[in-house]
Chain A
Amino acid sequence: MKNLLGRDHPLAVGGFAGPALILFAAFILAPLLLAAAATFSNHRLVSPEPTRYVGLDNYKRLLALQVVTVEPLRDAAGAALRDEDGVRFPTWRQTRGARPALAGYRPAWQFGLGERRIVLAATDPLFYRSLINTFLFALLVLPLQCGVALGLALLVNQRIAGRIFFRTVYFAPVVTSMVVASIVWSFMLNTDRGMINELLRTLTGDANVGPDWLGESRYALPAIAIMSAWQGAGFQMLVFLAGLQSISPELYEAATLMGANAWQRFVHVTLPGLRNTIVFVMVSTMLMAFGLFTQVDVMTAGGPLDSTTTVVYHAVRSGFKQQDIGYGSTITLVFFGIVLLASALQRFLASKGGHK
């Protein structure tokens, strides 16, 4: 029943949209607003003292960043002192002690420039590191999980014996709770006796091969990425499958009639037909990647050396374990804002690119 303006009757719209919108408002938006309000206070998890309004203190603590140039230690003649590692610099505490404006700052990154050292100091260096970690993780997981999911869907869509069985097998990881999966993978990734390293040792024949997956900062995040892809690919496979099966077989017939081989059929029939699905899968995988928490909590506790700390993990640790709700909410809200901005930007660019 559309009215004159081409809009549907408000009662019908209300009936359809109402229940979900009310539930969203009550159980997601309202808590979000409460969390947002908490960011302006020093709300604590358990405290006898009343919560005070602190204005933008939480935000300042989160975001404050300064660039500091550190001069090397010099001898009496003014030349820089050196040892076997290179130029010698004062420790951060000494540097900070000399400059009162740096109180509360800690180094986030540092790199050398000629004789000097440039330090990016922040009051919460872990926040910036966790931002980088989170984006890095998303970058690793996205192609892995989506690529594998598409491949699996294509495989399972063929008329081969046992495909229902295989479909279940590929989906099985999705069904396991993340806690259980993390525990099992911790065993498999164990340096000395885990299966993965044993496999590597058998394959290469070298008894010393076998990285410390969860113990070294450059392997931990990729290891978690692989594990997350393993856990999520089955689900995206189903989504791709639904998309594949909604492509009309007549299109394939027409393509074959026109002399297209398998690859050309894939590129010119399958991919375009899957465009919406691909977008959906990529967006949802990316969003789930941004929320990375449980695997980190169970397998690495944010380490080693903060290489697997993600923004959500940092927020939960601040909020729940260090009992600072105001600050934890600030972290998540700022992150939420960043992701929102990024996805808005992406959609803006996509529409500009003429994709409809």
Chain B
Amino acid sequence: MNAFLRKALRRAPLFILMCVLGLVFAAPLLFMFASSFKHDDAIFSDLSSWSAYVPDAGWSMANYAAIFERSNLPLFLFNSTLIALAVVVGGILVNSMLAFSLSRMRWRGRGAVLSVVVAMMIIPFEVIAIPLLSLVARLPWPGIEQGALTWHIGWFNSLHVQIIPFLANAFCVFLFYQFFRDIPPELDEAAKMDGAGPWALFFRIILPNSRPVIATAAIVLFIAAWNQYLWPIMVVQGEAARPVQPGIQQFFGRSNSWGQIMAYASVVTLPVLAVFLAFQRQFVASVAGSGIKG
């Protein structure tokens, strides 16, 4: 009992620190979430007090009802989910394979390619946005019309225009690369002695041991895809393929309805948090279970 108490006391200051930090990090989001339940006037009169972070007595779901009525939010959520999932799955595959070839395989030009990949991390999206726009307006895409394969020029107003350009992600490649470099080479030797080629090595041994970095990459790609804003504005004009983020602009008009904006922001943020929460347990369990011991 004594030992337990002592341990708890030692842990207590750390716990308090974590709580304080938690408040600091969560405050803006609490503000957003609390405001989504308030009327616009209440948001501003509460702005400078503690009640900005909690719903007030007259809280209601009116804002949420309004956003679903004024915009096609379920469709946008569906589109974003599809896009994000596609980017995550495709992205993990494609980027990890490149990182594997950069870290575990030997080939001419490997160093140059690595440098180029690192360099590409610097390029902010806004730089290539316009030329990319011209490019995707001219690319063909297959479609089936009346039972025959036809080619349609231009990728506008589609889901694939929001997926394909973002599968290859320099940051993720680098992430995988660093992680693969740290995996001891003895595993390679063991695999080779068993007669396994690079494909088997990759899919059977390296990937299963890379759960932490896969989880991280998945989160990076998911968030990047979910928070896409400038690109969908440029290439998706219709509602059918529109994702969630551009939709918030709908509520900025002549009269900004802040309560609805906050409600929209909450609806758009919480699913991602939920995904992270789900992923997180996987992440913890796999790391505890696996062992990258030599």
Contacts and interface: CB of A to CB of B under 8 A. Distances in A.
Nearest to A159: B11
Nearest to B95: A20
Contact of A7 (B93, B107, B165): B107
A193 interface: yes
Interchain residue pairs A-B with the least CB separation, the first 9: A291-B124, A23-B168, A31-B131, A34-B131, A20-B98, A31-B128, A16-B101, A27-B165, A193-B48
B168 A28 contact: yes
Given A24-B170, A169-B26, A340-B122, 5 more contacts: A19-B98, A32-B123, A183-B261, A183-B265, A233-B25
Contacts of A164: 280-281, 284
B113 interface: yes
Chain B CB count within 10 A is highest, among A1, A177, A233, A329, for A177
Given A7-B108, A195-B27, A155 B14 contact: yes
Nearest to B261: A183
15 contacts: A23-B94, A24-B170, A27-B164, A31-B131, A35-B128, A160-B15, A175-B272, A176-B29, A179-B245, A230-B25, A287-B122, A293-B126, A332-B124, A340-B122, A343-B118
B123 to A, nearest CB: 7
B254 interface: no
Contacts of B174: 280, 284
Interface size class of A (residues with CB under 8 A): 35 or more
Given A35-B131, A238-B219, A246 B292 contact: yes
B127 interface: yes
A290 to B, nearest CB: 7
Contacts of B17: 155
Interface string B152-176: 0000000000001111101101110
A328 to B, nearest CB: 8
Contacts of B52: 195
Contacts of A245: 212, 287
B101 to A, nearest CB: 4
Interface residues of B, number: 94
Interface of A: 1-2, 6-8, 10, 12-13, 15-17, 19-21, 23-24, 26-32, 34-35, 38, 45, 152, 155-156, 158, 160-164, 166-181, 183-185, 187-188, 190, 192-195, 198, 230, 233-235, 238-239, 242, 245-246, 248, 276-277, 280, 284, 287, 290-291, 293-294, 312, 315-316, 319-320, 325, 329, 332-333, 336, 339-340, 343
B276 interface: yes
B150 to A, nearest CB: 22
Contact of B101 (A13, A178, A234): A13
A169 B32 CA distance: 14
Nearest to B211: A242
B18 A325 contact: no
Given A179-B229, A230-B25, A336-B123, A16 B202 contact: yes
A168 B31 contact: no
B227 A178 contact: yes
Interface of B: 11, 14-15, 17-18, 21-22, 24-29, 31-32, 44, 47-49, 52, 93-95, 97-98, 100-102, 105-108, 113, 116-128, 130-132, 134-135, 164-168, 170-171, 173-175, 178-179, 181-182, 197-199, 202, 212-213, 216, 219-220, 223, 226-227, 229, 245, 248, 261, 265, 268-269, 272-273, 276-277, 280-281, 284, 287, 292-293
A316 B94 contact: no
B212 A8 contact: no
A177 B227 contact: yes
